[in-house]
Structure 1
Amino acid sequence: MSQPASPAAPLSATDIRVIVLGAVISLFLAALDQSIVATALPAIAGQLGQVELMSWVVTAYLLTATCATPVLGKASDLLGRRPVLVGCLLVFLAGSALCALATSMQTLILARALQGLGGGGLITLAQATVADVVAPRERGRYVGYFASIWAAAGLLGPTLGGALTQYLGWPWIFWINLPFGLLALTVTDRALRRLPPQPRGRKRIDFISVLLLLTSTSGLLLVLSLGGHRWGWTSLPLLGLLAAASTAGVLFLRRQSRVDEPILPPQFFRDAVVGPVGTALFLIFGGFLALAVLVPAWLQITLGMSAAAAGLVLIPLSLGAPVTATWTGHHLKATGRYRRPPLIGVPLAMCALLGLAFLALRGAASPWQIAALLLVAGLGIGPLFSASLTAAQNAVAPRDIGAVTGALTFARALGGAVWVAVASALVLGLALAWLPDLGALGGLEELVRRPLSDHERSTLGQAFALIFSLDALLLLCGTLCWARVAERPLRAQGEHYEAPV
């Protein structure tokens, strides 16, 4: 029989600041490695060869990171935040070192997959760890800070990656992770030991559920990555992979209702807060990422902008979201209510998308007009970042904080993967239907590189206009889901930490 844990001294304000600092560094590392590699890919392919495998350097990281988030979130509930967070940091650093030392493209891809396992855990654990030491009513502010860190990493990554590659060589985009990772490890480990432990009982991770979830998720992500490029959408290999992923997904969901410690507890789907929040995130965040992918392609394909200029126009989208995410955090602290900000913000983003659709249909727009609409879109999406995580964490018992954080992170990542793939496929499908002379297209990147006539650019502008309008419809569906979220007062007092450390 387990013995009660000895009481631990309450955390001081300094302890909390140290823990939050470590969480911020951990999140920054994971976010940075999703974008820092992009500008280094030509140099990597030039040295290691096998250019046809180049995209997998990015895909491998995103695939394993997505799969890891719900599993490691639940593991941290059962095993404790500190050992899982430390383990994720060590795996991430080991993966980074192996990436820097890679001598072939295959080795680099495998190392990136290992790095993604650690990175996916860091994203979830950073947010769950802050929830352990900050009362629900205060958490929205910190989620706003996390949104700022995520935006900064997204903006800094390509620039830093290009500079390190040019002046020091591409391995340094991975070596740079080591000092920051060791810093995060140092500043958090001692403070996390002071969290009061839970009475230890027999708790086991259900590895069959883990295997089924990994099979289902990785299968689906591979379908989305390979569909329309390596294999046709109706090809037998792709349909077979989709069938295997769907079967594993069904078996996983059935098993969750039968095991003692489910990775995605069925009560999450039935809860009046967690269920609608997860669905809204899947739709709205998916639409947000689809916008971030489609706008640069639209600017280059139909308006003739360079890749660098398109990237600059996209910056307001990344800057707007942290502003309103931080404001929403302060609103949550002052009022204890979370439903209203996204109900105001997301419709503004919908209007911005319709404005972009009008400009795409017209076929002429200034960079300032586009940047202004993207700023409005970012400002509109921002409140969802703070409100969604705070509402869901407030709705569950402390013992499920890691699981619900992992579930929401998983919903965001999966929504982004699905809707980016769907939007890209729709653009290419419309291009093929309306401009059959273009022939087969391997992806938006190929369309960007092709010389196009004015008629072709105008026609493709109509395709983008339709997709932007459909994206606005996707945000509308997400808003309707958010409107179903129950309003529960945010607790203003700190909670007893229930996970072992």
Structure 2
Amino acid sequence: MSAIVSDAASGRPEAALGGEFTHRQIMKVMSVLLVSLFVACISGTVISTALPTIVGDLGGQDQLAWVASAGLLTTTASTPLWGKLSDLYGRKRLFRVALILFAVSSALAGLSQSMGQLIAARAAQGVGVGGITALTQAIMADVTTPRTRGRYSGWIGSAFGVATVAGPLIGGFLVGSDALGWRWTFYVGIPFAIAALVMVERVLKLPFVRREAHVDYLGAALITGAITSVLLALSLGGQKWAWNSGTTYTLVTAAVVLGAAAVWQERRARQPILPPHLFRSRTFNLAGAGSFFVGFAMFGAMIYLPQYLQVVRGMSPTRSGLMTLPMVIGMLSASITSGRLITRFGRWKAFPLVGLPMIALGLFLLSGLDVGTPLVLAGLYMLVLGVGLGLSSQVLVLAIQNDVDASDIGIATSAASFFRSMGGAVGVGVLGAILSSKVGSAIPALMRERHVAPPAGTDMGDLMGSPSAIHALDAPLRSVVVDGFTEGLHTVFLVAAPVTLVGFLAVLAIREVALRGGRGEPADAEAGEGEAADDEAVQVDLSASVRQKVATRH
């Protein structure tokens, strides 16, 4: 018989007598999760202001795209593996590994003496980030019921939102400091990771179902290979190589072949990395699709809104980060409010059904931005988008967690994160290709129309990656480039808006099941008959659909 034990040395989960963690105990766990998630999220945003300085110091302009993409690739590819391994070996153990890997790789990134070393360190850092982000939601599922989880899920979104704004600000300060410099954009996360490790040992005592483990290494390799091939094609297509190049075709072919092999392997594996039975769930598939399209919109907006502010409006990276505050405030307020309402009423479906159309509306409004748009109006559009994202992103994770068994909570949760990340990767890749194509045709047309000649010896493609270089151009040429870029952004947001509505249709088709674990439910824990007096039954809610009763003998 499997037994629920604690990850802590005490051998018992710190749960209340009725089987559920108290609010105080949950907040202790949340403090660990929020610190860890903040440091993971900020690692991707803090370097945005440092990239030009890094290239100036280490060289390798042609490798710049890899510095930005390496972490995203490994984060997304590793997410399903972290979830499954945590189901087999326990969340706390894997969470420790993720934090240590993050801290060590951050130190190596800061010590890098070449672009190759930096890219390798960023790739390793991405694996750690994948573990932290995947396990954060799974751990929260361990200590809360699906219904009460809504009360705390808003704080998960808040950590992400704060990191989005704080990253460029901290990065700008560090890069501009004579005493610190760009290397500290990597070192800055290490103290947080160490603090999180200390907190893990002190407060993170989690229930863990001990069972025989058989890791599907072949399935893990095939899944990782397929995901990596897709992400490489999407992230670097149009940058390092052309979309219609042999490299792109090779990567797409590899993704199809490896994906087909992974499906075959997972169907026959004893303990598959991505259990096929999950895909027989209507809720899992449709909520996953909704998460994909939320990621498409969210990551697309977070990439291209700063480009509007920097290229079109001429703002510094630091100021552009501050200008996205309305979107972050909208995300935070909507996420926290919806979470509390879900906990109170036990219903979730209405929130993404309102949120996804709001995302589409926000993107449509953003498509009208130009160089003369009042910043207050732009902020209002961002607020609409942020509210839509806040109503949708965390709620869909709850829906998936509510639909799976306890033994699958880790992989199901990481799958939800994976769908969102894949949506983001596809969104950034597709929208980036649209932007490049539109800008590439708009700028020459505007030059002919306005009788402006391109500058001698200047590659217009290189200008697109350097807002400062654009604003150093002569006024007539600068006006052409900015207007051409604005036309490209119009198209990007107009394409993204209706795509988001596909996610709305997916969520609309879900049959809502009320979230379990409300205050009115009985504790449903009773001592087993025929056991000795020193035996006691401990019930811990690990998922929405399964409540396990086990007797632990002291």
Same topology, TM > 0.5: yes
Which residue, 464, 473, 480 being the options, matches 2:505? 480
- 1:281-324 CA deviation, whole Å, 9 max, x = no partner? 11122122212222333344455555555443322122211110
> 1:221 deviation in Å?
1.4
**Residue type of the alignment partner of 2:174:** L
2:355 equivalent to 1:345: yes
Distance 2:327 2:171 in 1: 21
Distance 1:289 1:443 in 2: 23
> 1:95 deviation in Å?
0.8
The 1:186/1:215 distance shift into structure 2, 3 A limit, reads same
> 1:246 deviation in Å?
2.1
The 1:111/1:465 distance shift into structure 2, 3 A limit, reads closer
- 1:93-143 CA deviation, whole Å, 9 max, x = no partner? 111222222222211211111111111100011111111011111111222
2:375 equivalent to 1:384: no
Partner of 1:200: 211
Distance 2:501 2:341 in 1: 23
> 1:403 deviation in Å?
0.3
Partner of 1:96: 106
Distance 1:9 1:441 in 2: 57
Partner of 1:41: 51
* Alignment check: 8 A CA contact 1:138 1:333 kept: yes
Distance 2:311 2:202 in 1: 52
Partner of 1:29: 39
Partner of 1:441: 461
Greater alpha carbon shift after TM alignment, 57-66 vs 401-410? 57-66
What are the within-5 Å matches in structure 2 for residues 206-221 of structure 1? Answer: 206-221=216-231
Partner of 1:110: 120
Give unpaired runs (5+ residues) of structure 1. Answer: none
Distance 1:187 1:298 in 2: 40
> 1:366 deviation in Å?
1.1
Partner of 1:408: 416
TM-score normalised to structure 2 length: 0.83
Distance 2:485 2:2 in 1: 67
* Alignment check: 8 A CA contact 1:140 1:328 kept: yes
Distance 2:126 2:13 in 1: 35
Give unpaired runs (5+ residues) of structure 2. Answer: 6-10, 17-21, 446-453, 519-539, 549-554
Which residue, 278, 295, 301 being the options, matches 1:285? 295
2:201 equivalent to 1:181: no
Which residue, 145, 152, 159 being the options, matches 1:149? 159
Which residue, 480, 495, 499 being the options, matches 2:541? 495
**Residue type of the alignment partner of 1:136:** P
What are the within-5 Å matches in structure 2 for residues 27-426 of structure 1? Answer: 27-165=37-175, 166=177, 167-192=179-204, 194-201=205-212, 203-302=213-312, 307-360=317-370, 364-426=372-434
Give percent identity, aligned residues only: 32
* Alignment check: 8 A CA contact 2:169 2:318 kept: no
Distance 1:261 1:29 in 2: 32
* Alignment check: 8 A CA contact 1:229 1:443 kept: no
The 1:3/1:468 distance shift into structure 2, 3 A limit, reads closer
Distance 1:75 1:178 in 2: 24
- 1:242-298 CA deviation, whole Å, 9 max, x = no partner? 211221122212322222222222232231211111101111221222122223333
Distance 2:357 2:407 in 1: 35
- 1:39-59 CA deviation, whole Å, 9 max, x = no partner? 222333333232332332222
Q: Once superposed, what is the RMSD of the aligned Cα atoms? A: 2.5
Greater alpha carbon shift after TM alignment, 93-102 vs 151-160? 93-102
* Alignment check: 8 A CA contact 1:428 1:443 kept: no
* Alignment check: 8 A CA contact 1:326 1:386 kept: no
Which residue, 7, 12, 28 being the options, matches 1:8? 12
* Alignment check: 8 A CA contact 1:18 1:188 kept: no
Partner of 2:552: none
SS at match of 1:39: coil
Choose between structure 1 and 2: higher helix proportion: 1
> 1:181 deviation in Å?
1.5
> 1:325 deviation in Å?
0.6
> 1:457 deviation in Å?
4.7
The 1:295/1:200 distance shift into structure 2, 3 A limit, reads closer
Distance 2:490 2:116 in 1: 39
> 1:377 deviation in Å?
0.9
SS at match of 1:198: strand
Counting matched residue pairs gives 493
Greater alpha carbon shift after TM alignment, 277-286 vs 36-45? 36-45
> 1:435 deviation in Å?
4.3
The 1:230/1:174 distance shift into structure 2, 3 A limit, reads closer
* Alignment check: 8 A CA contact 2:311 2:467 kept: yes
TM-score normalised to structure 1 length: 0.91
Greater alpha carbon shift after TM alignment, 77-86 vs 340-349? 340-349
